[in-house]
Amino acid sequence: MRNVVKKLKTVSLDTMIDKHIGKIGTQRRDTFENELKIELLGSAIRQARKERHLTQEQLGDLVGVQKAQISKLENSVTNARFETILKVFSALGAKVNFNVELDDKQMTLS
């Protein structure tokens, strides 16, 4: 029996996203990227909460919201107010940085 070796074609992640989600600037791609950013934000909240050894209920008490709201934030289920997100990170003792890009200029807000 003869061994057949197939060479796999290597494709970049960007190429796969372009092909299956859509190219940059399309509505579908913009939606995908926004949802990904929200998911990453939720993961950051969950990770920071666990590192501080807090339950969702304890974090909610610190922020002044219900446990369910913290759960929704962590699971990217809700569009939370910016103020609430900042309160959550403040309660966790986390430093928050934002990058804003305008055409060819980039601003970092801390």
pLDDT tens-digit readout, 80-107:
788 888 899 999 998 887 776 776 665 5
pTM: 0.65
Q: Residue 93 falls within a domain, yes or no?
A: yes
Residue labelled with tokens 């699971």: 75
Q: Residue 1 falls within a domain, yes or no?
A: no
Instruction: Find residue 61's DSSP bridge partners.
Output: none
- Which two structure tokens, joined as six digits, stand for 82? 């910016």
Q: Please, how many CA atoms are within 13 Å of residue 54, restricted to the half-sphere of its CB?
A: 22
Q: Residue 6 falls within a domain, yes or no?
A: no
Q: Where are the alpha helices (DSSP H) in 1-110?
A: 13-20, 27-51, 56-63, 67-74, 82-91
Encode burial over 77-92: b for 16+ CB neighbours within 10 A, e otherwise.
Answer: eeebeeebbebbbebb
Which CATH number goes with the domain that contains 61? 1.10.260.40
pLDDT digits (tens, 9 = 90+) for 10-58: 878 788 888 888 898 888 888 888 777 778 888 999 999 999 999 999 9
Query: In angstroms, what is the C-alpha Rg of the chain?
Result: 20
Instruction: Look up the domain containing 28 and give its range.
Output: 13-109
Tally of domains within the chain? 1
